[in-house]
Chains A and B, each alone.
Chain A
C-alpha cells in the first residue's frame, strides 16, 4: 500500500501528468462556465481521444475536467443566474443575489474556496474511506432507494420558497415526465405517442439545458429594454483573504456539505445537482437565520459548492470499487476505464494500482489548482460570459445549448427535446412553476419507481409488503428524514409563531 502510494506520487509528478492536470482544470473551468456545456458532455467527447493515450494520462485529463467543470458551473450561476452545469443549480440561489448586490467577486471567491475544501475532503474519503462507505451503499436495496428518492423529493418544499404547493406540483409533473418511455418493470411503452425516439425516455441533459437555458435566454431578451446584462466581475483587494478566513471559520458547514456531497455521490443515480440541493437544504435548516437564504447568503454558496465538488470524488467510490457510477460523468468514466481494459473492483487497486492511485491523487492536485486557475483566469472567464452583449449572448447561449444537447447522443431529437422543454420552462416560470422541482422529479422518477415496484415484488415474495417498506433499519432512518424534511416548513413556521408570540 505504502509502496503504491509512493510510486503513484512519483508518477503524478512527472511533467506530462502535471501538464495534463493543468490543461484538464483550465479546459474544465471554461466548459463548466459556458451554459449548455456540461462535465458529462466534455468527458464523453474526450473518451475517444483518450483511447490513443496511456490509461493514466487519459484518466488524469478526464478527472481534471470533471473536477473543474463542476466548479466552473458556478461562474455562470453567479454572474448570469444560469447554472453552467446542473450541479450549480443551488449556487444560483444565493450566488446570483450576491452578484446583484455588487459582490460578484466575493461570490466567485467563496465558490472557489468552498469547491477546493469540499473537493479535497471528498478526495480524502475516496482515498481512505472508500471500502467501508462502499459497503454501506451495498446495503441499499430497492426499499432504501425508494425512501431515498422520496427524501430527495421533499427538498422541493425548500426549493420553492414562494409556494410549497407549486413546488410539489412541479415535482409531481417532473415525475410524470420521467415515466415517458419503456417501463423498467414489465416493459410497457408509456406516453410515447408512437414515437420511437421517446422509447428510451427523455434524455436528462437536453431537458436540463432546455429548462435552465432557454427561459434564461428569453428572459434576457425580455429584460433587454431594462438594460439587463450579465453581472460584471471586478476583483477587489483583500477579498481573497477575508473570504478564506470566513470559510475557514465555518468548518462545520464545509465539512457537513462535503460529507453530504460525498454520500450523495456514492449513491448511484444521484448527481452533483442533488448533492448541492440536499446540502443547501441542510444549511438552511441548520442556520439561525434561514430567512436570509436565497437573498445572497454566503453560506448558501459554500453549502452548494462544497457539496458538488465533494460529490465528484464520492461518485467515483462505487465506480472504482463496484463498477457502479455514482453520477452521469462517472458513468462516462466507466466507459473510458473499460476502453482501456480496466475492470472496476479489486483489480483496479492491485493490478492497476499505480494507475488508479495516480488518478485519485491527481484529483487532489486538480482541486488545489482550481484556486489559482479559477481566481486568476476568473477575470478572463467572466469577460467571456459577461462582456458579450445580450444581442450576442442570447443567440450564443442558444447556439451552445444546441451543441450541448446534440453532442451527448449525436441525435437531433435531443435538440427538439431541449427546445420543447425550454419553452415549457418559460411558460412555467410565468405561472411561478420553477424548473428546479420539475427537474428534480425528472431525475428521481425512474429510481423512485424502480425502488417502489421492486420493493412490492420483494414484499410479495417474502410475505409482507409493509414489512419490506417499514422495517429495514436503513429504511426507517430514511423515513424519519423524509418526514422531518416534509414537515420542516410547517414545524419552522410553528416555531417562528411561538417565538413571535413570546416576544409580544
Chain B
C-alpha cells in the first residue's frame, strides 16, 4: 500500500494547506477548531508519508478498480448521468431510463429477447411502484423536469 499511502498523504496534506489558507478569513473563535483539526490532520498525513518510505511492508500496487474496469467506469458515468438528468427530465423519466440502462449494461451474459424484456418490465414495475409509493402516497414530490 506504499503508493496508495503516499497518494493519500500528499492529497490530505494539500487539503490541509488549502483549508489553512481558507481559515484566514474566519473570525478567531470560528477558526479555532478548524485550525486545531487542520494541524492534527496535517501532522498525521506527514507521519503517513514518512512511514510509507520507512516501512518494510510488502509492496502492493494501488489499484483503483479490481477486475473489469469498464463496468465500474460505466456505472459511475451512469450514476452521474442519473443524478444530473433528474432536474432536467424529471425523477421518473430519468430513473426509468438510467435504471433500465444500468441493468442492461451490467448484464454481461447474452440473454434472449424475452429475458431482456422481462428485466425491463421488472425495472419499470419497481421504479413505478417506488415512485407511486413515495410521490403519491407519501407526498415526497420528486422533481418533475421537462417530462415526469
Chain A interfacial positions (CB closer than 8 Å to B) = 45, 48-49, 165-166, 168-169, 172-173, 175-176, 179, 183, 185-188, 190-191, 214, 217-218, 221-226, 390-392, 394-396, 398-400, 402-403, 406-407, 410, 412, 415-416, 419, 422-423, 427, 430-433, 448-449, 452-453, 456-457
B99-A395 in contact (CB<8A):
yes
Which residues of chain B from 33 to 49 have any CB-CB distance to chain A below 8 Å in the complex?
A: 33-34, 36-38, 40-41, 44-45, 47-48
Which residues of chain B from 96 to 148 have any CB-CB distance to chain A below 8 Å in the complex?
A: 98-99, 102-103, 106-108, 119, 122-123, 126-127, 130, 134, 138-143
The 9 lowest CB-CB distance pairs between A and B, nearest first, are A188-B30, A183-B30, A172-B41, A395-B102, A188-B26, A449-B33, A186-B27, A431-B8, A391-B106
CA distance A165 to B54 in the complex (A): 15
The 26 sampled A-B contact pairs (Cβ below 8 Å) are A169-B8, A169-B41, A172-B44, A179-B37, A183-B26, A188-B31, A190-B22, A190-B26, A190-B30, A190-B34, A214-B79, A222-B66, A223-B66, A395-B123, A396-B99, A398-B102, A399-B99, A402-B82, A402-B86, A403-B140, A407-B140, A412-B86, A427-B64, A431-B7, A452-B33, A453-B33
* Known contacts A175-B37, A190-B26, A456-B32; A226/B67 CB under 8 A: yes
Return A420 CB to nearest CB of chain B, in Å: 10
| Known A173-B41, A431-B1; further 8 A-B contacts with Cβ < 8 A | A48-B139, A165-B47, A169-B8, A186-B28, A218-B75, A224-B71, A394-B75, A432-B4
Q: Which residues of B contact A179 (CB under 8 A)?
A: 33-34, 37
* Known contacts A172-B44, A431-B4; A392/B123 CB under 8 A: yes
CA distance A218 to B48 in the complex (A): 27
Most A C-beta atoms less than 10 A away, residue of B15, B29, B138: B29
CA distance A187 to B31 in the complex (A): 10
CA distance A186 to B7 in the complex (A): 36
Chain B, Cβ-Cβ closest to A395: B102
Most B C-beta atoms less than 10 A away, residue of A396, A453, A457: A396
Interface status of B83 (Cβ within 8 A of chain A): yes
Q: Which residues of B contact A183 (CB under 8 A)?
A: 26-27, 29-30
CA distance A187 to B79 in the complex (A): 35
CA distance A423 to B140 in the complex (A): 26
Q: Which residues of A contact B140 (CB under 8 A)?
A: 45, 403, 406-407, 410
A176-B64 in contact (CB<8A):
no
Return A381 CB to nearest CB of chain B, in Å: 16
B33-A448 in contact (CB<8A):
yes
Q: Which residues of A contact B122 (CB under 8 A)?
A: 392
Chain B interfacial positions (CB closer than 8 Å to A) = 1, 4-5, 7-8, 12, 15, 19, 22-23, 25-34, 36-38, 40-41, 44-45, 47-48, 51, 62-68, 71-72, 75-76, 79-80, 82-83, 86-87, 91, 95, 98-99, 102-103, 106-108, 119, 122-123, 126-127, 130, 134, 138-143
B32-A453 in contact (CB<8A):
yes
Return A186 CB to nearest CB of chain B, in Å: 4
A218 interface neighbour in B27, B28, B76, Cβ under 8 Å:
B76
A406-B99 in contact (CB<8A):
no
Q: Which residues of B contact A221 (CB under 8 A)?
A: 71-72, 75, 106
Chain A, Cβ-Cβ closest to B45: A169
Return B110 CB to nearest CB of chain A, in Å: 13
A453 interface neighbour in B29, B67, B91, Cβ under 8 Å:
B29
* Known contacts A172-B40, A430-B63, A453-B29; A407/B4 CB under 8 A: no
A391-B33 in contact (CB<8A):
no
Chain B, Cβ-Cβ closest to A394: B106
Q: Which residues of A contact B7 (CB under 8 A)?
A: 431
Q: Which residues of A contact B102 (CB under 8 A)?
A: 394-395, 398
A165 interface neighbour in B37, B44, B130, Cβ under 8 Å:
B44
Return B137 CB to nearest CB of chain A, in Å: 9
